[in-house]
Every structure is written in C-alpha cells, then in structure tokens.
Amino acid sequence: MAKSRFEYVRTYEQDGMLLPNTYIVIRLDGRGFHRFADRYHFGKPNDKRALCLMNAAAKQVMGQIPDIAGAYGQSDEYSFVLRRECRLFDRREAKLVSTFASTFTAHYQFLWPQYFPQRVLDGNMLPTFDARAVLYPSLREVRDYFSWRQADCHINNLYNTAFWTLVLTGDLSQHDAEQALMGTNSGDKNELLFGRFGINYNNEDAMFRKGTMLVRDVGSSSESAESRDEPEPEPEPEQHEKSKRQVEREEKKRRKAEIVEMHVDIIGDEFWKNSARWIS
Amino acid sequence: MAKSRFEYVRTYEQDGMLLPNTYIVIRLDGRGFHRFADRYHFGKPNDKRALCLMNAAAKQVMGQIPDIAGAYGQSDEYSFVLRRECRLFDRREAKLVSTFASTFTAHYQFLWPQYFPQRVLDGNMLPTFDARAVLYPSLREVRDYFSWRQADCHINNLYNTAFWTLVLTGDLSQHDAEQALMGTNSGDKNELLFGRFGINYNNEDAMFRKGTMLVRDVGSSSESAESRDEPEPEPEPEQHEKSKRQVEREEKKRRKAEIVEMHVDIIGDEFWKNSARWIS
Amino acid sequence: MAKSRFEYVRTYEQDGMLLPNTYIVIRLDGRGFHRFADRYHFGKPNDKRALCLMNAAAKQVMGQIPDIAGAYGQSDEYSFVLRRECRLFDRREAKLVSTFASTFTAHYQFLWPQYFPQRVLDGNMLPTFDARAVLYPSLREVRDYFSWRQADCHINNLYNTAFWTLVLTGDLSQHDAEQALMGTNSGDKNELLFGRFGINYNNEDAMFRKGTMLVRDVGSSSESAESRDEPEPEPEPEQHEKSKRQVEREEKKRRKAEIVEMHVDIIGDEFWKNSARWIS
Amino acid sequence: MAKSRFEYVRTYEQDGMLLPNTYIVIRLDGRGFHRFADRYHFGKPNDKRALCLMNAAAKQVMGQIPDIAGAYGQSDEYSFVLRRECRLFDRREAKLVSTFASTFTAHYQFLWPQYFPQRVLDGNMLPTFDARAVLYPSLREVRDYFSWRQADCHINNLYNTAFWTLVLTGDLSQHDAEQALMGTNSGDKNELLFGRFGINYNNEDAMFRKGTMLVRDVGSSSESAESRDEPEPEPEPEQHEKSKRQVEREEKKRRKAEIVEMHVDIIGDEFWKNSARWIS
C-alpha cells in the first residue's frame, strides 16, 4: 500500500545514541542576545531581573526532567548535567538537545512578564536558545567543566564591571574604556575599580561574580554522605545493580527533591565535598 | 592562568557536521500533544485553529531562516527542508535541531493568543517540540520523504474522521468505534462515512486531508523553469560555481520571496513540476 | 593553483574522534573463517596450531602498540583493550580499526608458515579480518566485556566438543549429532561427554575452554599493588596530572614490559585483583 | 544464564552506518612507508615494481568486492570508490575500512615475492595500511576527489624527479638539492630537468606522472553510452527501481567485468565522458 512505498526514507535516519554510563552536559546559549539585551534595555553590566529569569526558566526545566542532577548559569547561557545512568529518550542526541532548547525557550517566554512586566515581547525579536551536548566519562571532568564556565564568568564579569564603570561613572566613551583596559590583568582591574571609583569588586552581587549553581538536593544517601575525602569509587554501569523498582523509587525521590540555588565558588574543593548528595 | 587549566574539557566536544551538499530535512514533533490537545480542548478529529497556528509558526521560522526551501506540516508535526548548499551553523546537527525547536516553540507560544484568545496557557503545560535531522542526497528522496508524511496524514485523518464521526454523530463509545473500524481499508471507511452519515470524505477541508505545504517562491529562474520533464541535472557542489556576491544576491532573493501555502496532493508528479522554483 | 581547486573535497571528511578518557576495545573477527578452516583442514573442534597462530599475531600487535593494555582471543576473534588515556591517532576511529586489522593480518600471514609449514596459503583464500571499536567509560564494563567473550567461548566450545565427539568418536552424522544436542544444557553436555565417552570436559586443554588472555605486565606500581579490595578510584583525565616526560617514561615502561599469556577464568574476581598492574 | 548477564556491553556499540545513496570513497595509506621504502631499497624517485605491486593488490581487492566501481593509486596510497547503491556490510564504516585495509594488506604481502623475489620480508617491518572513508553525494565530487589525488601525484612526482635527478645525476647533497628547488614552480622544475639534464619530464613513465586508474568495464549500458555531453540525471535511490533479481544480475555482470588499468589524465573531461560505463 501507499505508505510502504515511501517508508524507505526512514532508513536514512541515524540513531545518534550518546555513549551509555557517561555524564551528559547540555549547554544552552541565547541566540543573538547582544542585540536582544539592547532591544529590551537590559541593565549594564548585569541585569539582575534577566539573570533571575534565566534561573527561573532553568528551575522549570529541572522540575520537568528529573534526570538533571544540577545546572550552572551565567550571562545568557545555562549548562545542565544529566546523571550518568540517564536513559532519557534512549540518550538520542538530537532529541535531547532539541527538547532542552524548546523547554527552556517555552518557560523563558512564559515567565518573561513576571520579570519584565513593562516590556512587552516583540514577535520580531523573541528569545531563543541553541543547545549542544558533551559527554564526560568521570566526575572529575564534570567538575572541571563547571569550573571552566565559572572561570569564564569571572573573567567576563570583572571586565564588564570595569568597562561599564568607566563608561557610566567615569564618563569615558566605549572606545576609550576599551583602550584603558587593554592589557590589564585581574589585579589591575580590581585596583582600577577600587582606586578610581571606590568599588570593592568582591562586594558586588555574588550572582554576578559567581553565576548561579542549581543542585537537586536528593538528601544524604546513607553510605556516601560523610566520606568525601577519599577518591570516589568508579560508578558501576546500571545494569549491574538496580531493579526496575529501585530505579522508579529513585526517580520519584529526585522528582520530589528540592532544587537549591547557590552563588558560590565551585572551583575549589569545598563545593564538591557534598556532590554525592546531588550528582550520583 | 585559571582559564586554561580547565579548558581541556572543550576537546570532548564532537563537531557533528552534517555531510555537505545534501538536503537536510528537520522534523519537529509536538511533545505530549495528545495530552496537550485534551488540556486545551482541541476540536476532534481536527482543530482548524491549532493547525493554522502550526502553519503560522512555521512561516515565522521560514521567514527567519532563508535556507529553508519548503516545509510540510500535519497534525502536531512540521518538516523543513534546507537547500543542499545550506551552510547554516556550519551544518552542525545539534545547533540546527536545537535552533529550529527553540524558534518554532517561541513563535508558537507567542502566536497562541491570536488563535486561542480564550484559552490562557498554563505554565505547567506549555507547548514544546523536539526535532531531528535527516540527510537526503537527491531530490527524489526529498520528494519521497514529503510523500511519506502526506500518506501518513491521509491514513491518520481518514481513520480519525471515521472514528470521531462514529463517536460524535453515531453515538458509539470510543471502544465500539475502535472495534467497528478494525480491519477496514480506505474504501470501507469512505463508504461508512458516506453510507451511514452522508459524508463525502473528499469534501472535507483540504487542510485536514492533505496537510499544509509551504514553499518559498523564488520565482522562475531563467534556465530551469520550463523544462521540468527531463531528468534534473545532478546539482554541483557549491564550490564549483558561485562567487560570494552571487551567494549573497541569492540569499537576499530568498529573504524577499513570498511564502506560498498550499493544501494539495504532493505525491503525484504535478506538484513537483515546478519544484525548481523553490528547492534548487 | 590546480591543487586548491579540488581540495574542497577534504571538507567532506568527518573526524570521527572517539570520546577521550574512555577505554577503547577493538575486536577483530576472521572473515569467512568457517570456509577458511575447511580449506586449510583445521582440526575439529579446535585446532591448536590455529589458536597459537592467533595468539602469536596478537602478541606482535601488542608489541607494536604500547597503548594496548591487554587482549583476549578465542576461536577466530581477538579483542584488544587500549588504556583510557590512549591518544593514538588522535583516537580517530577509522584509523584505529583499519590499522589494527591491517597489522594483525600482516603478522598472521607472515607467521603462517611457522604454524602450518605443510599448508601453503592460496591467493584465492587469504586470511583477512574486520574490526570494530567500542567505548567503555569504566573498568567494570571492560571486565564485563571480557567476561562476555569468555562466556561465549565456554558455551561454543562445550557445544563443539560434544558435537564433534558425537561425530568423530560416536560415528553420528552431523545432522544426528545436532539433533542429539538440541535442548541440552551445560550439565547435560558434560554428562554426555563423560557418560558415553569417558571425557571429563574440565580436563580439556585450558586454551580451548578458557581462551587466551594477554596482559602487559608493567609491574607493581607503588600505590596500587596490594589494596585491590577497595573500590577503584575514578581515573582522572590525563590533563590533570602528567608531564610530557612522565608520559614518555610510562610509554617506555610499557614497551619493555613482558606480555604474559594466560588460560584462566577471567569472569571471577581473582583475575581482576591485579588488574591495576596492567590496565591502569 | 551466564551469557545474558554480560551481554549489556553490546549496547555500547554504535552502528556507524554511512548515509545511503552516496558514493563511498575509501583511501588506503601505507603506514610508515618512508622507512619501509628505505628498508627494502625502493628505487628513487619511483620504484616501478613497488607501484606495480600496489596495482596488483588493488586489482585483487576489486576482484573480491564487486561494489568497487573504480580505484586510483599513486605512491603508497590507493583510493577505491564504491557505487552509490552499495550496501556492503550495511554500509557500516568500521567494517568497511577495516576489511579494505585487511584485504589489501593480505594481497600486498602475498604478492610481494613476485615483485621483489630477492628481498625477503622482515617480520619487524611488514607492509601495513590504514584506511578512511569519505562520502560524496554527487559524481561531480567523486571526479574532483580523483582530480585532487592526481594533482597531488603530479606535484609530488615532479618535485621528486627534479630532486633525485639533482642528487643522483647532479651529485648535489640532499640538502643542496632541497635548497635548489625552494620556491620553484612547475615551469622552473621542467626547465631545470631539461636544461641541465636533457630530461623531458613529459617523457617520463606515465605511471609515475599520472598514477594508475583502475575501472571495472561493465560495458556500454544501452541508454547511457553516447550522450555524455548533457548533464547526468540525478541517480535515483535504489528502492525505487530494482527487483532483487535485477540487483543480482547486475552484480554478476560486475563480477565478470574486466578491470582496466590506465595511466591517463583524469582531471580533464575526456576521461569522464565514458564514466557511466563503470561508475553508475
């Protein structure tokens, strides 16, 4: 019959399965958010409402997808890490990245009026996001991934703070501010802020300086809570251990777990001491 | 410095480039639209406003991405075909599917109040879409792909029309309607609709029966317009022919081209006679 | 100049990089070895020279590629596991599998006359091998992979031993031997061998029953040798720890390390107690 | 039972299917052939026996794999193009590249004594090859691929001819020869050869200058033989047209077809006029 004559086109699809038993990190990036921020008059160097909206949308995504263990956001980007056992959508890459992009986009737009009640969205410039997936075989790499993003946050925010202080308070043109900062290191920028403007960068809003970490606090699992000093045992592939019932019980626990928001250093060891509570 | 110590995590990214000089078809599917349709009381077997909203969102996507040559939608799905020369996002799969899913989602939600003014969206059930990409090396396969989707539309819509007529007009329970249709072929269903309910299926709304085809009418390109009887020449890889200026001129032409909406048979030859106007 | 006009064709190549910091298992399979074994009159159910030739070729491959930590062979197949830090050929899949297949093929043919001095190879039936690569993120999966292959060896060899004993000693036709074994489990086959033919399967050559494990004995590394009871720490990604010099020193150590051949159980814990000596 | 407990490790395998209805080009490269050529005293700048051995091995590969339409070799590399309809090994990349590498390696070693009867192979330096696969959606790209390889052959061979003439006939050191050629173009090298040594490069062996093209001459298929001026019609995906019987008949025809060896220009149009005889 008619259907089958054409159905061969399905054989051209690739399955695109992501390797099992690895952490999946999905990073969303705002598309054209430079122009978007201008269009909706975001504050400089940071717009707190815009960041809170990002966080709120990310929490909605976490609420709907229990396999997300944690997330980190800064500027117009958000990274989600999925448990290494995650089997969502049979780990098909296209399905994962498109669903994350779509779900985040939906909530961002839906929540917009709560954060920007005076700024009606324009159909010619709606907020949209792209997404990519990266695999990490060990917790060490996941930690380094988040450290990478926070280091990026720090560098950009320190620069932007100095730049916009020079422009907005110091009355420099954008071109002159750029020149003034060329070749400066972190210390120089801190000094410039303090010496010329009396601004102690460390007193700036922690959300701006550190970004936002969201973790799903599943609670202290019996054996793993305290002993975070020793090396973490290599996680076992799921097939070896869990009954279907146990899997469901754990998912239910994750669904009910609180999502905790933090604006702290995630590069040092301190933050990761309790990582077993949320990522394993 | 701090940044570089962590930056190795980038080396774990795969580029995921889609093979050059092939057609890219991106299909979006509504996520959980069965429940979504119930929640917002979509009409049965078809809700015209919901389909028109799908079409409107698809047109917005086409308006923003000139590399889309055409699109076909039915039910809660939409398929977009990109020109084989398309270099959007360096043809990276994750970026393509996530951007399409995000952009479609944004417009669907934004346009919702125009199509469903009485039904305010609920933050716990927002419309979201996943996406996948499939490659086709020749126009023949692209045509067969669209034929496959239209054959699917026909089969499902005929069934749904018969089913809901039995339930809504014939007062059967859903279970009895299912039983009544079991094992029937297309002819049987046509006859049932006409014999018992006086409904000539062919008079049903063409949008329901045929779905919606959108093409970007670039206009009759000089050499290719008339001679559509002969086999199409194998398209040349782009490197061989076009200057950067020509590429820009063509993109501009596509941006300005009208997007034409049709509810016609796309399985037979007739529709494809003029395909050079929009797909090449 | 002439060259560059065509060079765009290189852009169609995919890099095919295998995820870093995961174990790569490469399995070679003899192509058409059923017919090959007939053509060269291999003994039934096992031909010891043929197995020894496989082992000898595998050792040559291990001798040339220090990143191979160990290998397991049975019948006409051989699996090699590469260290998770391995960067050979930038971890490009096609380069890895083709090089392994080619190198094994070269040594198998070269060594043939030593093992089959009377049987000159026929150019119309040369021994060839295909190869595939699979990634495993943790040692647990590598262990289970090898267990899977040894379980396969056990099942096939017990069957073949029973089958060929029935045929060669019991004078059954191949068809009748097949019928006699249909539906029997391991216990039945052991009993049949012992009851009817006085053969204690456990006294058969261990190479036939267990296959061959090859490990590169790098020697007891200071910290890891004794304490194999505790869970293995999750290996760190290489970037974090090793200087170039250390990497070179370790490779040199592996090059000089002895390759040890074993015909032992690799499913139980015993074999893996010392795995840190060769795989980490 | 024992087997199934471990069998989950199979789910980590990726299928790696190459896109249907595209040309597959598989290129083999000699591994470490610089040292290999030194070890076995290959003549400079070309060793005719070595090239003939490459060609002989390539013909054996073509003889065994009827899906190969043609092949081009130069120096220590050989490229095979498979018909776009080819379904060998379900188009799995790893299986294809490993099988090609293994089969070529086997024949190269087997034929070695015919071409180098005095030079016994040394087990510590056996000839091995790696392989990669690239996809091309249209014949134009396949043609440009082969042109790319022949342009490469021309450039390298002209350089090597000039270099070794300066060294072997002109008595320059290798370092001085290198200096003498630095910055010269093709015309300069031709002139140097002719002016100083009376050598007309165009009279050099065509196999050295042009490399070797092998085509499987399936014979003039009815409709396609003469009219090679018009653009080639876009090949149809196989599902549309051929019965299983027709497929088998065609394969048989290819198996019996003669493999023709040529040393001609494959960049210009002339060679491709009759390409329908062998590639479609």
Q: Tell me the pLDDT band of A277, cut-offs 50, 70 and 90.
A: confident
pLDDT number for residue B280: 74
DSSP state of C22: S
Structure tokens at A87: 């089997």
> d(Cα C147, Cα C141) in Å, to the nearest integer?
9
Closest CB to C128 among D97, D99, D130 = D99
3-state secondary structure of A134: strand
Would A218 be classed as within a structural domain? Answer: yes
Of B55-69, C1-15, D49-63, D76-90, the one with minimum mean pLDDT is C1-15
Q: Are D51 and D118 in contact (CB under 8 A)?
A: no
Mean residue pLDDT across chain A: 92
* pLDDT value of residue B240: 61
pLDDT tens column, C197-208: 999 999 999 999
Q: What is the pLDDT of residues D185-206, one digit of tens each?
A: 999 999 999 999 999 999 999 9
What residues of chain A lie within 8 A of the CB of C236, using their CB? 138, 140
| A neighbour chains, 3+ CB pairs within 8 Å | B, C, D
Provide the pLDDT confidence category of residue A247 given band limits of 50, 70 and 90. confident
**Chain C residues with CB inside 8 Å of D130's CB?**
89, 94-95, 98-99, 102
Could you read off the pLDDT of B148-178 as tens digits, one per residue? 999 999 999 999 999 999 999 999 999 999 9
**D139 interfacial to chain B (CB closer than 8 Å):** yes
Which of A66, A69, A61, A60 lies closest to A255, judged by CA? Answer: A66
Domains: count for chain B: 1
Identify the domain containing residue C121 by its residue range.
Answer: 18-148+211-222+245-279
Is B193 inside any structural domain? no
Report the distance separating Cα B180 and Cα B165, nearest Å.
12
Structure tokens, C182: 């249909």
**List of chain A residues whose C-beta atoms are within 8 Å of the C-beta of residue B135:** 12
Q: Cβ of B138 and D240 within 8 Å?
A: no
Question: And the tokens for B40?
Answer: 């917002």
Contact status of C154 with chain D (Cβ, < 8 Å): yes
Give pLDDT < 70 ranges for chain C: 1-3, 220-236, 238-241
Interface of B with A in 182-241 (CB under 8 A): none
**C143-170 burial: b if 16+ Cβ within 10 Å, else e:** bbbbbbbbbbbbeebbeebbbbbbbeeb
Q: Which chain C residues touch D13 with a CB distance below 8 Å?
A: 132, 134
What percent of chain D clears pLDDT 70, i.e. is strictly above it?
A: 91
The 10s digit of each residue's pLDDT in A126-138 is 999 999 999 999 9
In this structure, are residues D189 and D159 in contact, taking their beta carbons and an 8 Å threshold? yes
> DSSP label at C92?
B
Give the single-character DSSP code of A84. T
CA dihedral D170, D174, D178, D180 (to 10 degrees): -30
Judge whether D14 is closer than 8 Å to chain A, CB to CB.
yes
CB neighbour list of residue D182: distance below 8 Å, 6 or more residues apart: none
Test the B interface: residue of D85, D141, D223, D224 with most B CBs within 10 Å? D141
Residue D217 sits at φ, ψ, to 5 deg, of -85, 90
Q: Is the pLDDT of residue B3 over 60?
A: no
The CB density around residue B83, as the number of other CB atoms within 10 Å, is 22
CB contact under 8 A, D234 and B237: no
Closest Cβ–Cβ partner in B11, B17, B237 for C14: B17
Using the predicted structure, report yes or no on whether residue A222 has a pLDDT greater than 50.
no
In a domain, B123, yes or no: yes
Does some domain include residue B12? Answer: no
Residue D6 in domain: no
Per CB-CB distance under 8 Å, the chain D contacts of C102 are 31, 101-102, 104-105, 128-131
Do C123 and D147 make contact, defined as CB atoms within 8 angstroms?
Answer: no
| CATH label of the domain that carries residue A105 | 3.30.70.3000
Reading the block at residue A99, the tokens are 């669903």
Element (H, E) at C30: strand C23-30
CA distance D265 to D262: 9
CB contact under 8 A, D234 and B236: no
CB distance D42 to D50 below 8 Å: yes
Alpha carbons B238 and A83: distance in angstroms, whole number: 43
Residues of A in contact with C135 (CB under 8 A): 19
Does ipTM come in above 0.95?
no
Of A6, A97, A154, the CB nearest to B147: A6
Partners of residue C231 in chain A, C-beta under 8 Å: 233-234
pLDDT at B242: 76
Q: What is the pLDDT of residue D274?
A: 84
Structure tokens that stand for A211 in this block = 């970004």
Interatomic CA distance for residues B19 and B16, integer angstroms: 9
Q: Which chains lie within 8 Å of chain D at 3 or more CB pairs, if any?
A: A, B, C
pTM of the model: 0.93
Q: How many whole angstroms separate alpha carbon B205 and alpha carbon B48? A: 9
∠ CA D256-D262-D264, rounded to 5°:
150
How close, in Å, is residue B19 to chain C by CA atoms?
A: 6
Mark yes or no for CB contact A11/D19 under 8 Å: no
- Asked whether the predicted pLDDT for residue B123 surpasses 50, the reply is yes
Point out the residue among C2, C95, C144 whose CB comes nearest to the CB of D6: C144
Q: Give chain C positions within 8 Å (CB) of B12.
A: 19-20
Å from A213 to nearest chain C CA? 23
Q: Is the pLDDT of residue A258 over 90?
A: yes
**Residues of chain D with C-beta less than 8 angstroms from the C-beta of C100:** 98
Structure tokens at A181: 């900062």
Work out the burial of residue D6: count CB atoms within 10 Å of its CB; fewer than 13 is exposed, 13-18 middle, 19 or more buried: buried
Q: How far apart are CA A36 and CA C147, in angstroms?
A: 56
Predicted confidence at residue D222, as pLDDT, reads: 44
Residues 156-185, chain A, touching B (beta carbon < 8 A)? none
E strand map for chain B: 23-30, 68-74, 77-82, 129-136, 212-217, 258-262
Averaged confidence pLDDT in chain B? 92
pLDDT of residue B218: 83
- Name the residue in chain D with its Cα closest to that of B140: D236
CB A69 within 8 A of CB A83: yes
Residue B2 has pLDDT above 50, yes or no: no
Residue C167 pLDDT: 96
Cβ contact, residue pair D138, B233, below 8 Å: no
Tokens 């814990």 appear where? C269
Report the C-alpha gap between D28 and D97 in whole angstroms: 9
Give alpha helix (H) positions in C40-92: 48-64
